[in-house]
Amino acid sequence: MHPFEAMAEPVRRRIVELLASGEMTSGQIAEVVGSEYRVGRTASCKHLRVLRNAGFVDVRADLSWRWYRLADRGIDALEREVVDLRVKWARRSGWDAESTEKFDPLAAPPPYAASWSVPFRGPGRPARRGLRGRQTDIPAAPDPEQGLYQILPMPMRLYAGEMAGYNVPLIPLSSGYDIPQLGYGVFKVPPADTERVVLDALELGYRHIDTAAIYGNEEGVGAAIAGSGIPRDEIFLTTKLWNDRQAGDEPHAALEESLRKLGVDYVDLYLVHWPAPANANFVNAWKKLVAMSEGGAVRSIGVSNFLIEHLEQIESETGVLPAVNQIELHPAYQQRDVVAWCEARGIRIEAWGPLGQGKYDLFGAPAVHDAATAHERTPAQVVLRWHIQKGNIVFPKSVKTERLRENADIFDFSLSDAEMAGIDALDPGDESGRVGAHPSTLN
């Protein structure tokens, strides 16, 4: 097979990129490209065979596995073809690569490409061959910077700390650190299942995990992080101080306990879980968190479920505002007054229960249903996309791998202004959409 033909498919270029970092089994390769390009294991193996036939990949077998590795033959052949094409073009057109820096005629298919037995797979490739890992919608005017054939951005590849293919924005916090806008929350995940589901999330590429002392599953989160092999500084980890540990020096003891259970030296974000105003300890707890932020065990500090009156009190007594306020927020209950107060002061909003916890028919709402139909997405994806476009930080929960993947696949489409306004209008404005406890009464 001609080297250009072998490397025309984005899936194959991704496989070569993976193997450049070391040997992998076909199963490991299939898991990565399957999540990124939505191709099955059989299709992944076919792409591997094409690369082997073209000389890009070799295979080594031991007693248990067949290991694939990058070979130099195909790369060398591709480089020779590039040189040969440039020489041929120079002869035919008089073009000089040394004196012409801004335009390369080889960015377009050469006239003689039509005579090849294998079609030239560059910008001249037929447009729109489908969405399952193939090049689509190639621009008519090639970008001279792209060279012989355009390598379009891969359909779903992720952040500044790369997630398995999803472009998750990093939101700057007032503390100077960045937080991934999409994460995975473990509220109500059974402790026995936590390690498995968090490992699944990390393998899919999630790098933001939200837990709490009261959830009872910090040990499982810690075991998953330790077993993932992912460097600690690539994972953004949040936990929270429970209400009965707000008094005296209890916040320090509670943090040490959480660090021990999580098996880490620091957390990226530590939150006061609820104001619990009847206990009259949340200001003391906040002062302790401010002191913690000056050490090395906590990078950013914030609050959860704080109303404006609680925020004003900690500001007046400490002069320090939280980096984050994690509040109940979903289409039927948007807490616009709290959000506006926080946004005016640089406090980021995290939305817990972003899908309403299934306590009302959110997905049946016409605004959500119609947008899902228009974009060929699930209602959950539409609502999560609404949160992303509002600027909220979200961490939906699921124990199903396919749902985890679905929740992350929300960065390659956008809702229109009309669709956003339709979902905005689902909040009646009278707090009747609240599905959780009220911060003024939960103690």
Residue 382: which of 400, 399, 362, 359 has the closest Cα? 362
Task: Give the total residue count for the chain.
Answer: 443
Residue 94: which of 108, 79, 80, 105 has the closest Cα? 105
Q: How far is it, in rounded angstroms, from Cα 364 to Cα 360?
A: 9
Active-site residue among 215, 266, 333, 360? 215
Q: How far is it, in rounded angstroms, from Cα 189 to Cα 187?
A: 6
C-alpha distances (whole Å) from 32 to each of 15, 28, 165, 254, 290 are 9, 7, 9, 38, 41
Contacts of 373 (CB under 8 A, 6+ apart): none
**Residue 215 known to be catalytic:** yes
Phi-psi region for residue 357, left (φ > 0), alpha (ψ -120 to 50) or beta? left
C-alpha distances (whole Å) from 316 to each of 287, 388, 410 are 12, 31, 39
- Classify residue 23 as exposed, middle or buried by CB count within 10 Å of its CB (0-12, 13-18, 19+): middle
Q: Which amino acid is at 224?
A: A
Bridge partner list, 269: 238, 300
Phi, psi of 171 (to 5 degrees): -100, 125
Q: Supply the residues annotated as catalytic.
A: 215
